């Protein structure tokens, strides 16, 4: 906790990301958001009586440490030092610690998924299966990528506990999600948990979409970009920039009509250019595994993942300025991040040297299948590595396939990858739950 204490002292009360302000709007004026589910906003609302975003940041740091503890507990029964090694990236990676200090949903989501995995590899009674479902519902309502993870859990729980365990888990997961979907429908008269799936799939296809090949109908063709894919801006441009063909359309970007139009464009692009879609998916996914950390998608967004040397400027976008006003109401005071010496320079120096390379993430992910194929130590290894390993890959692939690559989307997969690697090296008879 020493590192995290240094961050708390050096950057007060917390660090802000563009999404943070939208979360605060939903927390202070509860209603479903069109872009992201309200789970994290309700998490913020839970701590509103303290009137301190520093309290929120502290709790997120505790959740980060708790995630590392879960990794350790899962694998420590073979050799404790293996558990320590598996937990080290969550405990020590400076970018992980920085993510915990940002007012975004990823740390909460990461903890919930790690908790569900810890529950899922233990002995399955009906109570545990039900709790897994509820935890997965909470994760899904924090980040919608949790929804396909429920199917992954269903597959592995069927192997471990049979159909009854799957049914109970699904009941625990889908009932809260259905209730939220009902709230969303009552608010917008639209089905789903968010109203942005089409927009972000459109954003995804703009890395390769060629309207000369697609030949879209006139109403869809308004979303074309005549520039060759190699000369286009990063995908995020197409959801937020005023010059984006989508953003130029009348009305709000995430209206039902605009989202449906964007989805039609995206599905046509994928159908017309499947090879290009697959190639772009691999190219975007490969950003996860580079040795360094190239600036992406642009310096402004990338800067939010670095501990700043000076107080960041106030937000400029309308939604963010509204969120900033409500955040001051939440805090009952100024919210601008204070950069405090000597703690902040020390933390920045630490971030320069203590980061998990993307290439090492790939190596960690390759350990389980290699261990299973070679039968290390000439004895069967514990097969329960499959659940965290599959979840880790899902957390990396699904955002890239349906939206965009983002450095902060990688970090929740790391504890699962480390857990899987350690379990895959553990002789089966050494695992006890």
Q: In this predicted structure, what is the pLDDT of residue 121?
A: 87
pLDDT over 70 at 431, yes or no:
no
pLDDT in tens, 303-330: 999 999 998 877 766 567 788 899 999 9
Q: In this predicted structure, what is the pLDDT of residue 97?
A: 97
φ, ψ for residue 294 (rounded to 5)? -60, 150
Confidence of residue 82 (pLDDT cuts 50, 70, 90): confident
User: Is the peptide bond between 11 and the residue preceding it cis, with omega within 30 degrees of 0?
Assistant: no
Confidence of residue 251 (pLDDT cuts 50, 70, 90): confident
pTM here is 0.94
Output 245 or 80, whichever has higher pLDDT. 245
Region 136-150 average pLDDT: 97
Region 138-166 average pLDDT: 93
């Amino acid at each position: 906790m020493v590192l995290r204490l240094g961050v708390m002292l050096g950057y007060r009360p917390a660090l802000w990301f563009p999404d943070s302000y939208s979360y605060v709007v939903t927390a202070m004026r509860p209603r479903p958001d069109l872009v992201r589910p309200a789970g994290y906003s309700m998490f913020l609302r839970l701590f509103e009586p303290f009137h301190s975003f520093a309290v929120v940041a502290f709790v997120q740091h505790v959740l980060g440490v708790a995630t590392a503890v879960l990794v350790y507990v899962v694998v420590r029964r073979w050799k404790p030092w293996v558990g320590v090694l598996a937990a080290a990236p969550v405990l020590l990676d400076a970018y992980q610690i920085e993510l915990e200090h940002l007012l975004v949903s990823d740390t909460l989501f990461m903890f919930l998924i790690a908790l569900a995995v810890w529950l899922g590899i233990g002995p399955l009674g009906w109570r545990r299966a039900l709790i897994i479902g509820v935890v997965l519902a909470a994760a899904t309502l924090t980040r919608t990528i949790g929804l396909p993870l429920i199917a992954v859990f269903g597959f592995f729980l069927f192997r471990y506990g049979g159909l009854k365990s799957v049914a109970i888990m699904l009941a625990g997961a889908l009932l809260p999600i259905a209730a939220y979907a009902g709230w969303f429908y009552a608010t917008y008269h639209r089905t789903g948990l968010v109203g942005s799936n089409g927009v972000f799939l459109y954003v995804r296809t703009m890395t390769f979409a060629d309207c000369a090949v697609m030949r879209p109908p006139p109403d869809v063709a308004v979303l074309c970009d005549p520039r060759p894919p190699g000369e286009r801006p990063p995908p995020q441009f197409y959801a937020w920039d005023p010059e984006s063909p989508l953003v130029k359309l009348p009305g709000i970007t995430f209206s039902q009509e605009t989202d449906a139009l964007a989805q039609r464009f995206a599905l046509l692009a994928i159908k017309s250019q499947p090879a290009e879609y697959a190639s772009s998916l691999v190219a975007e996914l490969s950003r996860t595994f580079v040795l360094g950390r190239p600036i992406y998608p642009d310096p402004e967004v990338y800067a939010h993942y670095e501990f700043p040397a000076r107080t960041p400027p106030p937000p400029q976008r309308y939604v963010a300025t509204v969120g900033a006003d409500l955040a001051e109401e939440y805090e009952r005071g100024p919210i601008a991040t204070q950069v405090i010496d000597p703690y902040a320079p020390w933390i920045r120096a630490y971030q320069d040297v203590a980061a998990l390379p993307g290439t090492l993430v790939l190596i960690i992910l390759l350990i389980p299948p290699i261990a299973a194929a070679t039968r290390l130590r000439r004895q069967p290894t514990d097969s329960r590595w499959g659940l965290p390993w599959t979840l880790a890959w899902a957390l990396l692939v699904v955002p890239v396939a349906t939206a965009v690559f983002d450095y902060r989307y990688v970090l929740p997969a790391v504890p699962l990858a480390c857990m899987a690697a350690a379990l895959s090296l553990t002789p089966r008879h050494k695992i006890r739950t």
